Chain A
Amino acid sequence: MRRPLHPAVRVALGVLGPLLLLAAWQAYVRLADVDPILLPAPTDVAASLVDDRSLLWDAFVVTGQEVLLGLATALVLGAGLAILMHLSAIVRAMLGPLVIGIQAVPIPVLAPVLVFWLGFGVGPKIVIVAIICFFPVVINTLDALDRVDPDLGRLLQTMGASRRQRLRWVELPAALPAALSGAKVAVAIAGIAAVFAEYAGAEQGSEGLGLLINSARFSLATDRAFAAVFILAVFAVLTTGALALAQRLLAPWAHRRPGAPR
């Protein structure tokens, strides 16, 4: 069996991995004399993070809001739809193909329609992030609901439990860890979804990281574009960590403690 690492060692290794990558990247750019417009050195990106911090922060606030609201919408609607599909064979048959089909629609096709309906504000971006994050939440939750031990439901039946009580006491708690796992998968792609959503346009003064990346590329400020990407990556790591923590707090039974009696 794989031995678990001490938490401090795990964090140190988690920092060391990216640092090694950055060192290799720095060495490559310097030794191969790569054009900074094509690929800036990590030190240039770091300099941009400091110099453009106000610009980057304002853009991050917008994108962060889109990601978190989109993700929350996906979690609520995705889990809700999964429960409906679990309870009703008709809903499942009707919406199953639709859920998969919508996932295949490219965002650039969808974005203009949503902007037309909802305007250039934050609305269409939240919808796009929600649509992208929706799929892993629905699939994971539905799968977990389907895999609940049927004997648990039968036992509750002998206690006179109603369908609603079986859902409340057995199926929902059993599906919770999987729904949060779905959200963890979703959060990794939510940032990309927000960036693409922003390409469809935004109101003056409410540009997020996506538009910042776009304008930086046009003005050949590649270091600023990379600084924005760096922020997106760190944000994804932090939100995934927050979800993992939520999973431990909300579903502690899903993490078996080492040394527990069997």
Chain B
Amino acid sequence: MGYPGGSVRVQSPPSGPAAARPLTARGIVRRFGDLAVLDGVDLDVAPHETVALVGPSGCGKSTLLEMVCGLQAPDAGTLDAAPAALMPQRDLLLPWLDARDNVALPLRLAGSGRREARAAADALLDRVELGRFARSRPDELSGGMRQRVSFLRALATERELLCLDEPFGALDAITREELRHWLAERLEERPRSVLLVTHDVEEAALLGDRVIVLGPRPAGVVARISVDAGPARRREATDPAVVDARRRIHDALRTAMRGDEVAAT
């Protein structure tokens, strides 16, 4: 596979000591024709770290995520990533498979037999008390339940790096909060390295160990914010450290947007 200018290296699992960092991106540039979307983005995700990627609409967050998942290549820069599992914004469960077979799908694709893959999927569903929904088709599940199944499908791959693309974007406020807690619990049980793309500042502050703020197009990193608020599972929106992180993210976004307006005038 040839890339125009950038280089991509997918680490071969299992990662050795040399590849301890699941994601390292340097100087990532991406253009679509004359439209420059990403302009020299540097990004790292450390083992078992959750990095939230925040930025205005259309700034290239999802483009960056797709590069990490191997769906696109950068025009310039280097990207060194562990094999990643994607949880998309829409659950994208296969309507013809029940919840168990949807969770088992990545294992089947990787060559596991039906029985083996189903047993692994059942174990995952049982552990989070979703076993009774194992035989339900996606159209029989609520939106929140479908997203849970979608997350378990991403977990099933046992890949070190999880890419979550606006995972709660299509849900109502209450379900979103429930699911955020649920997801934080799951990540505490089975720690992974997570790259979370979101436009929700509060979500970023509640789940991220670090928050990377991208500016408007062509996007570069405008701020890197550490959230020192303890484990994500125990964070509340009113925690002073979360409130402080939210304020800093907002400030960075506002400054970046203002700069964009000044540049445009």
Contact = CB atoms under 8 A, between A and B. Distances in A.
A108 interface: no
B263 interface: no
A2 interface: no
A251 B139 CA distance: 13
Given A157-B71, A158-B70, A159-B105, A251 B96 contact: yes
Contact of B88 (A155, A160, A170, A261): A155
A155 B106 CA distance: 10
B109 interface: yes
B15 to A, nearest CB: 16
B194 to A, nearest CB: 15
B94 A158 contact: no
Interface stretch (B46-54, B140-148, B204-212): B140-148
Given A151-B90, A253-B95, A160 B140 contact: no
Contacts, number: 55
B139 A260 contact: yes
Chain B interface size band reads 20 to 34
B84 A253 contact: no
A119 B168 CA distance: 66
A158 B109 contact: no
8 contacts: A152-B92, A155-B86, A157-B71, A158-B85, A169-B105, A251-B96, A252-B137, A261-B141
Given A159-B105, A169-B108, A261-B142, 20 more contacts: A151-B92, A155-B86, A155-B92, A157-B70, A158-B69, A158-B71, A158-B85, A159-B109, A159-B157, A160-B109, A161-B109, A165-B109, A169-B94, A169-B109, A170-B94, A251-B96, A252-B137, A253-B137, A253-B138, A253-B139
